[in-house]
Amino acid sequence: MGYRKSPVGSSGGGNAPPGNEKKEKAETGGPVVEEAQRCCGCRFPLLVALLQLLLGIAIAGVGFLMVALSPSLLTRETPYWAGIIMCVVSLVGFILFCITRVPDERASVQFITKLLYFLLCTMGLVISILVIAYQCHHCALTYSLICDKLGEDCFCTLDPTDPIARTFNYSGVTDCSTIKSTLPMYNILQMVLNLAQAVVCLVGAFMIWKHRYQVFFAGLQMGSPSAMQWQSV
């Protein structure tokens, strides 16, 4: 005498209801699970990459405005390069969004793109923290400067009476007062933008890690199949 499995309420020779077939497909990795994974993989890179692109353009734009204020500003004082790097990171995110999803990471291109995007998001997080530190230091330093106009340049120092004190030369500045009024405003704006960029990069790296190594649901979660019972045939 043999045994076979059948849903509750069904006859020995009857077929399983359509609803149970969908649930069984969800358990065995059928189209329902693949669709959920596709939604999970495609939704978050688009939003994160779009935010990274917008923030990167804003950071680069503010950096170029700082260069226009004084061409003699150092590269670490005008972090337009951080915005350009973030635009590159966002392009990798858009590529990841366009790649066709394959369950269980069976596609090497998909895996390499995810790994590259994770590493770039981590690098963007570190760069944003460094930019915030530099901008905070320069903002506090600018408020303490004492500037004098010499020709077309402004020479600023922390202590005019100290002959060996460090001197900052700002060329192409028409009024030295703009150094202490406008430059700190740009520094604070860069700190805010890079803080938002650091948060977005952290979210992107976390979502990639969570989707790869932990259970991550997107959309509706399918319920567990109904209780099964053994029947004699």
Sorted by where each begins, the domain ranges of the chain are 35-144+183-217
The DSSP bridge partners found for residue 154 are 149, 170
In the structure, what pLDDT confidence band is assigned to residue 76 with cuts at 50, 70 and 90?
Answer: confident
Structure tokens at 218: 């997107």
pLDDT tens profile 93-117: 888 888 766 655 566 777 888 889 9
Q: Is the pLDDT of residue 211 over 50?
A: yes
Structure tokens at 58: 């804003």
| Model confidence, pTM | 0.67
Give the helix ranges, DSSP H, for 70-79: none
The DSSP bridge partners found for residue 156 are 147, 168
In the structure, what pLDDT confidence band is assigned to residue 142 with cuts at 50, 70 and 90?
Answer: confident
The alpha carbon of residue 90 and the mean position of all alpha carbons in its chain are separated, in whole angstroms, by 8
Helix axes 183-213, 31-69, angle to 10 degrees: 160
Give the C-alpha separation, 186 to 58, whole Å.
12
In the structure, what pLDDT confidence band is assigned to residue 74 with cuts at 50, 70 and 90?
Answer: confident
pLDDT tens profile 143-194: 888 888 887 778 888 877 777 777 788 877 777 887 888 888 999 999 999 9
Q: Output DSSP code: residue 160.
A: T
3-state secondary structure of 149: strand
In the structure, what pLDDT confidence band is assigned to residue 212 with cuts at 50, 70 and 90?
Answer: low
Structure tokens at 153: 């340049």
Give the C-alpha separation, 51 to 211, whole Å.
20
CB 193 within 8 A of CB 30: no
**Between vectors from CA 16 to CA 11 and to CA 18, what angle results, nearest 5°?**
140
Among candidate residues 59, 56, 49, 54, the one with its CA nearest the CA of residue 117:
49
Report how far apart, in Å, the C-alpha atoms of 203 and of each of 23, 36, 119, 174, 195 are.
32, 20, 13, 43, 13
